Amino acid sequence: MRQAYRRILRYVPRYRGALLAGAACVVASRLLMVYAPRLLGRAVNELADGGAAAVTAAVRTGWQFLAVSAAAGVFTYFMRLLLVGASRRAARDLQRDLFAHVQKLPARFFDRTRSGDLLARLTSDIEAVRFSLGPGLMYVASTLVLFPAAVVSMLDLSGPLTFAALLPLIAIIALVRALGPSIMRRSRAVQDRMGDLSARAQESFAGARVVRAYAKEPVEIAAFERENAGLVRETLGLARTRAWLTSGLHVLGGGAEIVVLWYGGEQVIAGEVDLGYLATFMLYVGMLVWPMISVGWVVSSFQRSAAAMERIDEIFDQPPERLTLAEPAEAPTPVRGSLRVAGLTFRHAGATDDALTNVTLEVPAGTTLGLVGPVGAGKSTLLSLLTREYEPPAASIFLDEHDVTRIPLPALRAAFALVPQDAFLFSTSILENLAQAIQAPLEPEHAQAMLAVAGLERDVESLPRGLETVVGERGLQLSGGQKQRVTIARALLRDAPILVLDDCLSAVDTETEARILARLGAELARHTSIVVAHRLSTVRNADRIVVLERGVVTESGTHDDLLAAGGWYARTHAQQRLAEAWGDLA
Ligand SMILES: Nc1ncnc2c1ncn2[C@@H]1O[C@H](COP(=O)(O)OP(=O)(O)OP(=O)(O)O)[C@@H](O)[C@H]1O
Ligand SMILES: [Mg+2]
């Protein structure tokens, strides 16, 4: 458990001020709380003396009791404010660091992580940690002051009675030790189930259209219900164990009161203890029962948060992307944009086959490479290795003759403008989506120009608010082809030396494609470009075309070379021509 808190302890020093002031409030308020019952006892004793003077004295003591209690209340208020406030701010820091860490994780982490589970760790697990560290630690500190102070005060009044009142404490420690491990285990299970549940819901919402299209609502509801039932089962198990703990503690606390009343009553009758101080004792026992109960509660909340911290640590323990894979670091400046792939073999983590086998190709600076081949041939994989989204083996890919594994990531990625195969837009305005590509503020005219190149100017004009139109989850839904073209404009705006287009005209018709390609030509010529396509007309004018089949380069040359070669390219070309001819006839 101590191991689990290693990370969170790092956030303590920066809130030193608030924590120290809070701790001072703990000490002041608890000492005043311990002093108050003595005043009450004195008032009872003064009354027991009888007479008119007795009432005056008792009332004066009563006022003192009130003043001390009020002061204890004020300190308690500031204690909560300072300590709970510090815990909220520390949780915010933890949340921020966790989020920042996730941003730095490599693509393969996201391949095997459900975003819903990640969300649960970022929210409910962090809240569990915060709760134990804020209110939890506050109760611990409070008990640490209150308990010894009360015991000292009790010993001052009567040794034997103190001993009798504290006996049940031993039983309490035994109880907490017996139930603690089970609470810890069940807490971890609850947090895990919570992650499963939100992952399930998140995926179902993200796939809402598929769910509807295949009428899978009942299946989704049933699956959610199953996860939910799992969560309830674990939560009830945890509640049962915690209930055993709290009720056990209540019984032991009540037992302590009875022991004091019985044994203390006899002492009063025997004249060993003043009646007033028996009242003081009863107040102390009442006062100590709560910390004893809260110890159990706090222990269980610490166990719960240690489990949560473990889940948070699992993310923190993921190694971030490395700036360079091989030393020494070197970066080409300025980047001219020539690419060379030499004998590249690559297998995805967990895959049984190589996605790429001994791939060798060259893209001289300023030229355009067309990359084609059947689905699953490894085209996107090859592209992702260029920018080290996945880590390629050393000395297999060179940018301007520098091994990419030696180029620091920011410099490497700055050399590329990438249009990924899945056209993803953030749920914000088109303008802001475009601005994501560049560091400087975006000029609307510049944006318009690139949208024109991407063949989207007419579409944007017809949108309700033009470039300011919000798209995605919170706004207007663009068509697949429109989305693709926004992502093309975004990449063009970046104006990086190398332009990479992964099958990004797949959702536009042949005519629109021809129009876009005509304008894109100039842009492609200004950059080193790699264009992946299924429709061969897209890459027809490329300086060189490479055919990738099952991870192997099988053909390479110009359009005319490949037609003459009579391989996959020529066959596919003939098929696509035929299909087009049929389309024209129809
Ligand atoms: N993240 C990954 N983890 C494991 N295997 C992967 C991963 N990404 C791709 N693959 C596998 O690698 C192979 C090549 O996939 P890739 O996406 O590179 O093909 P592609 O040529 O781009 O196909 P498409 O034309 O359909 O886009 C496929 O067998 C695919 O299942
Ligand atoms: Mg692909």
Quickly state the pLDDT bin for 225 (edges 50, 70, 90): very high
Name the nearest CA neighbour of 259 among 180, 165, 351: 165
Q: Once rounded to an integer, what is the mean pLDDT over residues 277-281?
A: 88
The pLDDT of residue 293: 64
Core vs surface per residue 236-256: b (16+ CB within 10 A) or e: ebbeebbebbeebbeebbeeb
Cα(379) to ligand 2 centroid in Å equals 5
CB-based contacts of 353, cutoff 8 Å, min separation 6: 347, 551
How far is the centre of ligand 2, averaged over its atoms, from the C-alpha of 503 (Å)? 7
**Residue of minimum CA distance from atom 8 in ligand 1:** 381
503 CA closest ligand 1 atom index? 27
CA of 386 to the centre of ligand 2 (A): 14
* CA–CA separation, 197 and 117 (whole Å): 8
Which ligand has the nearest atom to the CA of 346? 1
pLDDT at 192: 85
Rounded to an integer, the average pLDDT of 115-121 is: 88
First to last CA, the chain: 72
pLDDT band at 330 (very low <50, low <70, confident <90, very high): confident
Strand-by-strand arrangement of the 416-419 sheet: 416-419, 498-502, 528-532, 368-372, 544-549, 552-557
CB 156 within 8 A of CB 273: no
Return the ligand 1 atom nearest residue 107 CA: 1
- Distance CA(232)–CA(228), nearest Å, equals 6
Beta 368-372 vs 544-549: how paired, if at all?
parallel
Ligand 2 center from residue 549 Cα (angstroms): 12
For the segment 149-160, the average pLDDT, to the nearest whole number, is: 90
Q: How far is the CA of 378 from the centre of ligand 1 (A)?
A: 5
Could you please state the CATH topology (level 3) that the domain comprising 423-495 is classified under: Rossmann fold (3.40.50)
Q: What is the pLDDT of residue 4?
A: 64
Q: What local confidence, expressed as pLDDT, does residue 63 receive?
A: 94
Distance 71 CA to ligand 2 centre (A): 70
What span, in angstroms and rounded, lies between the C-alpha atoms of 231 and 430?
Answer: 40
Q: What is the pTM of this model?
A: 0.80
Maximum mean pLDDT: which of 33-47, 447-461, 463-477: 33-47
pLDDT value for 572:
94
Ligand nearest to the CA of 374: 1
Distance 519 CA to ligand 2 centre (A): 24
> Would you state the pLDDT for residue 213?
86
For residue 455, what pLDDT is reported? Answer: 86
Residue 385, pLDDT above cutoff 90: yes
Distance from C-alpha of 246 to C-alpha of 172, rounded to nearest angstrom: 10
Q: In whole angstroms, give the CA distance from residue 157 to residue 285.
A: 13
50/309: higher pLDDT: 309
Lowest-pLDDT choice from 27-36, 265-274, 371-380? 265-274
Q: Give φ, ψ of 558 to 5 degrees.
A: -80, 170
Average pLDDT, integer, range 371-389: 95
Average pLDDT over residues 67-85: 95
Nearest CA to ligand 1 atom 24: 375
Please say if the pLDDT value at position 2 is more than 60.
no
Whether 190 contacts 238, CB under 8 Å: yes
Question: Which residue's CA is minimally distant from atom 2 of ligand 1?
Answer: 348
Give the model's confidence band at 85: pLDDT under 50 very low, under 70 low, under 90 confident, else very high. very high
CATH class for the domain made up of 330-415+497-559:
alpha beta
Cβ pair 138, 23 in contact under 8 A: no
Alpha-helical segments (H) within 270-414: 275-316, 379-386, 409-414
For residue 202, the CA-to-ligand 1 centroid distance in Å is 24
Measure 354 CA to ligand 2 centroid, in angstroms. 15
Query: Taking the CB of residue 450, how many other CB atoms lie within 10 A of it?
Result: 22
Mean confidence (pLDDT) of the chain: 88
* pLDDT of residue 9 exceeding 80: no
d(Cα 547, Cα 555) in Å, to the nearest integer? 5
d(CA 379, CA 205): 30
Euclidean distance between CA atoms 232 and 109, whole angstroms: 29
pLDDT surpasses 90 at 481: no
* Ligand showing the shortest atom-to-Cα distance for residue 348: 1
Please report the atom of ligand 1 found closest to the CA of residue 353.
29
Point out the ligand 1 atom lying closest to the alpha carbon of residue 373.
21
Question: In the numeric block, which tokens belong to residue 457?
Answer: 């100017």
pLDDT score at 139 = 87
Q: Which protein residue has the closest C-alpha to ligand 1 atom 25? A: 375
Q: Which two tokens stand for residue 172?
A: 């309490």
Residue to substitute in 371, 375, 380 for testing ligand 1 pocket (most ligand atoms within 8 angstroms of CB): 380
All CATH 3.40.50.300 domain ranges of the chain, comma separated, are: 330-415+497-559, 423-495
List the single range of 50-54, 313-317, 544-548 with lowest mean pLDDT. Answer: 50-54
Q: Closest ligand 1 atom, CA of 378? A: 18
Please report which ligand is nearest the Cα atom of 548.
1
Phi then psi for residue 528, to 5 deg, are -80, 130
Least confident interval from 17-26, 110-119, 576-585:
576-585
For residues 409-438, give the mean pLDDT.
89
Q: Which of 224, 148, 243, 145 is nearest to 186 (CA)?
A: 243
What pLDDT does residue 505 have?
Answer: 84
Residue nearest to atom 30 of ligand 1 (CA): 376
What kind and span of H or E run contains 257?
helix 217-269
pLDDT class for 251, splitting at 50, 70, 90? confident
* 130 to 91, 124, 249, 455: CA distances (angstroms): 6, 10, 25, 51
Atom of ligand 1 nearest to the CA of 548: 21
Task: Compute the distance between CA of residue 397 and CA of residue 359 in angstroms, rounded to an integer.
Answer: 10
Pocket test for ligand 1, best of 108, 112, 348 (most atoms within 8 A of CB): 348
Indicate the DSSP class of residue 477. Answer: P
Strand partners, 429: 470
Distance 211 CA to ligand 2 centre (A): 24
Under CATH, which number does the domain 2-316 receive? 1.20.1560.10
User: Are 372 and 90 a contacting pair, CB within 8 Å?
Assistant: no
Q: What is the pLDDT of residue 496?
A: 92
Start-end ranges of CATH 1.20.1560.10 in the chain?
2-316
φ, ψ of residue 423 in degrees (nearest 5): -70, 100
Over pLDDT 70: what percentage of the chain? 97
Asked if residues 530 and 371 have their Cβ atoms less than 8 Å apart, the reply is yes
Q: Stretch 244-255: mean pLDDT, rounded?
A: 83
**Ligand 1 pocket check: which of 356, 381, 549 to mutate, most ligand atoms within 8 Å of Cβ?**
381
- Burial class of residue 278 in the structure, from the number of CB atoms within 10 Å of its CB (0-12 exposed, 13-18 middle, 19+ buried): buried
Alpha-carbon radius of gyration of the chain: 36
Tokens of 495: 């104006």
Question: How far is the C-alpha of 235 from the C-alpha of 151, rounded, in Å?
Answer: 37
Query: Nearest ligand, CA of residue 349?
Result: 1
Could you give the percent of the chain with pLDDT greater than 90? 45
Between the alpha carbon of residue 479 and those of residues 417, 485, 515, the distances in Å are 23, 10, 18
pLDDT score recorded for residue 23: 92
Give the span between the Cα atoms of 467 and 142, in whole angstroms.
58
Residues in contact with ligand 1 by the CB-under-6-Å rule are 111, 348, 351, 355, 373, 375-381, 421, 503
Instruction: Write the DSSP symbol of residue 136.
Output: I
pLDDT at 450: 87
Minimum CA distance residue for ligand 1 atom 11: 355
Q: How confident is the model at residue 208 (pLDDT cuts 50, 70, 90)?
A: confident
For the chain, the maximum distance between any two Cα atoms, rounded to a whole number of angstroms, is 124
Q: Report the pLDDT value the prediction gives residue 78, as an integer from 0 to 100.
A: 96
Give the pairing type, strands 498-502 and 528-532. Answer: parallel
Cα–Cα distance, 46 to 61 (Å, whole number): 9
Annotate 301-314 with b (16+ C-beta within 10 A) or e (fewer).
Answer: bbbbbbbbbbbbbe
How far, in Å, is the centroid of ligand 1 from the Cα of 380? 7
The DSSP output letter for 371 is E
The one-letter amino acid code at 133 reads L
Which residue CA neighbors atom 6 of ligand 1 most closely? 348
- Of all protein residues, the one whose alpha carbon is nearest to atom 31 of ligand 1 is 376
Least confident of 178-182, 291-295, 313-317, 337-341: 291-295
Tokens 């004998």: give the residue.
Answer: 343
Question: Tell me, what's the pLDDT at 3?
Answer: 64
Q: Atom 12 in ligand 1: which residue has the minimum CA distance?
A: 355
Distance 377 CA to ligand 1 centre (A): 7
pLDDT average, residue stretch 304-314: 87
At 368 the pLDDT is: 95
